Chain A
Amino acid sequence: MTDRAPLLLVRGVEKRFGSVVALRSADLTVRPGEIHALLGANGAGKSTLVKILAGAISADAGTVHMNGEPVRVRAPSDALSTGVATVFQDPALIPDLTVDENLRLTGVEAGPVRETLDRIGLVGLDLDAPIKEIQLPVLRVLDLARALVHDPHLLVLDEITAALPADLAQRVVEIMRERRDRGRSVLFITHRLSEVLRVCDRATILRDGRHVAELVPGEGGEDRLVEPMLGEVSAAVAEPPAPRAKAAEGGVVLEARTLSSREYLNGVSFELRSGEVLGLVALEGQGQDRLFDVLSGDRPFDGGDLVANGAPLRARSPFDAIRRGVVLIPSDRMLALLPKRSVRENLASALYNRVSRWFSLLSNEEQLVDDVIERLTIDTRAHREARRLSGGNQQKLAVGRWLAAGFRTLLCFDPTRGIDIRTKEQIYTLLRGLADEGSAILYYTSELAEIPLICDRVLVMYGGKIVHEQAAATADEAMLLRAAHGLQEASA
């Protein structure tokens, strides 16, 4: 049975986006009539590979065969003719059109979709409702139903069960089994290892854009799946973290009590103290984006409480949060800065919120900005435009703006993404220094190895909740990755 000709054969696929290598050498073999898991940590290249199979992007090198025939999908509109139907993480449905119009748009009859929806348990979905008024879980299932109508040889499901309520997730699993029983195959991308163990026949694991393992999930436990996802400890990180003075037992400056927001946050609670760097770790799509949006005032929350410096914080916009000293450093530095303005102008921009009298601003600005530049040792040669600075200097500038304006709490969302190791160290030093002076820092990172380098404590988020907490010094990557997959044995 294992010798049957493969349905899908991917060999040596490479893809780079500018200087970032998403896939180095991806191999994948899916046999007819199997449910195949595609696993890997954040940034391993899973989504890139899915997009290549779907024809949304094209590979730089490598081959893809379906049923022994070489295929080159030029556009998603060609994918169905190769027998591949993909359900993306973000449903490919048009927000301003109704369900019915979306089906007609893609040449799908409403009848069979309705039947499939009934089977999945979404009875009575209003086909005349515009997509933008329908909740994400329903849209995922709708997208799945639409793909099923084509009866594809290979159904690719990218994180379909993420943010799905348990009953719907179970139905989706049943649908996958049905496909297998009919001799069709499913490629299942997920972070939920328990589902992999339960339903998948085989699993391929990617790490840093490379194929690192192919195994049968049923043989051995979850650890056998997690292990290959972890990289070797990189040389740059090998240096043991300098022993730190225990974080000053500062007071709580930001406290979340059972925060909830739509389906993304389901009761997030934590305390952030002055003088500490609190790490946050999560796989993609576990609600961390929404948490930072809520904390920084960009989006409202539905339930729970947020307390800043002892008083409730219900920000209607980032302006309110900033006034209360809660400021955000996003991972996209260009979002935080005025890219075409000089360093000085960028630093001064945050002051306008604080200084109400223009005359005092004019007299004060120079001095404040000078202080910050000196403190952060920002390279200000020729008063260059912010966009021409190096990534590290840009990030310093993003922090520096708030330094000039004053803040108590710094929310850092993956601030070292795409930055080289030397600059990362500068940012660690900067943030550590700020914490030692009494600032409170919440630090989300997609790189687990950063946690022991900069954080005092670490939280792990999974399914819109904090599921794990521990001292950063005792955290190792395997432990965090297990927790991030929701595998915590003793529930936190």
Chain B
Amino acid sequence: MTVAVAARAPAGIRHWLARYGWTVGVWLLLFLLIGWYATLIPSFGSFTIASIAKNSLPTVFLAIAQAVAVIAGGIDLGAGAMMVLANSVSARFMEGQAAGTTAVIAVGILAGAAILNGLVGWIIVRSRVPDIIVTLATLFVFSGVALMVLPAPGGGTSGGFRWIFTGSTSGIGTNFWPSLVALAVPTVLVALWLRRTSRGLSLYAVGSDPDAAYLSGVKTARAKITAYAVAGAFAALAGLAITAITATGDPRFTNASNGTLNSVAAVVLGGIALTGGVGSVVGAVAAGVILFVLYPILTAMSIDPNTAQVIRGVLIVAVMMAAGLLELRRRRTE
């Protein structure tokens, strides 16, 4: 008996497609939708691009946060609340401050969120209470704290801070480059970190097979805690983006719960297995933008908002079912 090591000839392409096929598909779907949107509205130009780019930032950052947690075999239901908390805290303390001060506050919030959510990860690891329960609790806790910091919508920020995310000190304009950079840079950095560094790969490892990861010498507890810390930072980044876009803080609970649900939808649509270890944040980013873009598209088609919600839900299920069928066919032929 000999062992066949070499697979069929185009193994490289096959492996690449098996891993990144979905990601490519989601990005194609996104460009298709944007192209379609361009034909739906009379004036598609830099203003529209800027609008899509900046307004999808919170969804995208939250999708990345959720993606990192899910890849590591967890789930962060508290992500939406962390976003609202960061939004509330930043709006409360950035109001009336100079650009430099707001930047310092922003960095502080990101660091604080990473530590706080890392602590959540530590609790999950040590207590062995399932992720979904602990983070369900943090969804309520963080939402409550946000309301304590900022009891009613309000607050503000500096023009400079608004420019970083929106390309304009007033939050409205046609300069879409800063928003695109704000979207692309964290995405690329976190994607490279996850796939190229041993610490990043340890997240995939604990999500894919915790036992094998442990036996091969991966510090599984550290990996899980890291995942939650990074997720916390990205959720907070989503909150900062809201502050920059709207120049207010909005501590209402529905923002938190909607944010969490959207992030889970983005992760699933983005091709990340809820069982962990499979998928790419790059796919989740495209899915996040898709979930946002659907609103203006359905509005442009003058579909009423309630029906639009139904369509969004049906679309998610339809895409997942189509993908499931494709996967089934692929397995049959192998």
Contacts and interface: CB of A to CB of B under 8 A. Distances in A.
Contact of B6 (A80, A124, A168, A263): A124
Contact of A92 (B197, B204, B208, B216): B216
Nearest to B210: A94
A56 to B, nearest CB: 6
B213 A128 contact: no
A15 B276 CA distance: 32
Given A54-B215, A77-B217, A107 B198 contact: yes
Given A86-B215, A105-B201, A128-B11, 15 more contacts: A77-B217, A79-B217, A91-B212, A94-B204, A94-B213, A94-B277, A95-B209, A102-B216, A104-B196, A105-B198, A105-B218, A124-B5, A126-B12, A129-B7, A133-B7
A77 B195 contact: no
Ranked 7 nearest A-B pairs via Cβ = A92-B216, A92-B215, A96-B208, A165-B1, A77-B217, A105-B201, A96-B277
Nearest to A167: B2
Interface string B1-34: 1111111000110010011000000000000000
Nearest to A266: B1
B275 to A, nearest CB: 10
Nearest to B15: A128
Contacts of B207: 96
A270 interface: no
A119 B205 CA distance: 28
Contact of B1 (A90, A95, A97, A166): A166
Contact of B3 (A88, A133, A137): A137
Interface size range on A against B: 35 or more
Interface size range on B against A: 20 to 34
Interface in B260-287: 277-278
Given A76-B217, A79-B217, A124-B6, A94 B212 contact: yes
B216 A94 contact: yes
A96 B203 CA distance: 12
Contacts of A105: 198, 201-202, 205, 216, 218
Interface SS of B by simple majority: helix
A78 to B, nearest CB: 8
A135 B4 contact: yes
A402 to B, nearest CB: 31
B214 interface: yes
Count chain A CB atoms within 10 A of each CB in B12, B213, B277 and give the residue with the most: B213
A106 interface: yes
A122 B5 contact: yes
Nearest to B18: A130
A138 B201 CA distance: 22
Nearest to A263: B1
9 contacts: A76-B215, A77-B218, A77-B219, A97-B208, A104-B196, A106-B198, A130-B15, A133-B7, A138-B5
B196 to A, nearest CB: 8
A104 B201 contact: yes
Contacts of A208: none
Interface SS of A by simple majority: loop
Contact of B2 (A92, A93, A96, A165): A165
Interface string B199-236: 00110110111001111111100000000000000000
Count chain B CB atoms within 10 A of each CB in A79, A91, A104, A124 and give the residue with the most: A104
A124 B214 CA distance: 28
A468 to B, nearest CB: 22
A98 interface: yes
A56 B214 contact: yes
Contacts of B18: 130
A389 to B, nearest CB: 28
A125 B5 contact: yes
B73 to A, nearest CB: 11
A101 interface: yes
Contact of A97 (B5, B201, B219): B201
A130 B14 CA distance: 11
B215 A97 contact: no
Contacts of A122: 3, 5
Contacts of B19: 130
Contacts of A77: 217-219
Count chain B CB atoms within 10 A of each CB in A86, A88, A129 and give the residue with the most: A129
Count chain B CB atoms within 10 A of each CB in A79, A97, A107 and give the residue with the most: A97
Count chain A CB atoms within 10 A of each CB in B12, B202, B213, B216 and give the residue with the most: B216
A57 to B, nearest CB: 11
Nearest to A165: B1
A86 B215 CA distance: 9
